[in-house]
Amino acid sequence: MSRIGKKPVTIPDGTEVKLDSGSISVKGKNGELSFEYHPNMEVEVDADAKEVRVIRPNDVRLNKALHGLTRSLIANMVQGVNEYYERRLEIVGVGYQATLENNVKLHLQVGFANTVTLPVPTGVICELPDNTHILVKSADKQAVGQFAADIRGVRPPEPYKGKGIRYQGEHVRRKAGKAFAGR
């Protein structure tokens, strides 16, 4: 039995959960998210106990996998509409910097001849505490992770000098450069 799937998802105060045929929507102070779950899974909302339960029909391998997945996705939605998910990135390198245009376009100057422009997805908030740090936040956990990965993918940190865009706190394995020949 899935240990994650068995746990009910508690609904905090101020959060509204609605079930439609095959989909669940969660509404809170940070917005509204919806998710169409697999037809094999059964989702129940208990308004009195303020919790959501996911029930699987049998112990087929696919249903076991979907049980924990569905519960985790619903729990992430409930948490996201109450408290933003965030990802912090830092830009390392001389002259490397980021600018934000109306919270719609993120411009990155990271050692290329031209500035790289990334459109900020809808529902995602991008902030620049300074020009070498980027804060990505949203109620949708997947959107935060994907946009942060897209930003990092523009110029991943290189192993010799460590220049590039990295997640805050990420350890970059450094390599020794070429040894001096000296002959």
> Could you tell me the domains of the chain?
3-82 (3.90.930.12), 85-167 (3.90.930.12)
pTM: 0.88
pLDDT band at 128 (very low <50, low <70, confident <90, very high): very high
What does the pLDDT read at residue 2? 60
pLDDT band at 142 (very low <50, low <70, confident <90, very high): very high
Residues 64-69 have a mean pLDDT of 92
Q: Which secondary-structure segment (H or E) carries 28?
A: strand 23-28
What does the pLDDT read at residue 170? 87
pLDDT in tens, 36-51: 999 999 999 998 889 9
Residue 133: pLDDT over 60:
yes
> What residues pair up with 86 in beta bridges, in sequence order?
137
Residue 182: pLDDT over 60:
no
CA distances to 6, 14, 52, 111, 141 from 66, in Å: 12, 28, 16, 44, 18
- DSSP string spanning 59-77? --HHHHHHHHHHHHHHHHH
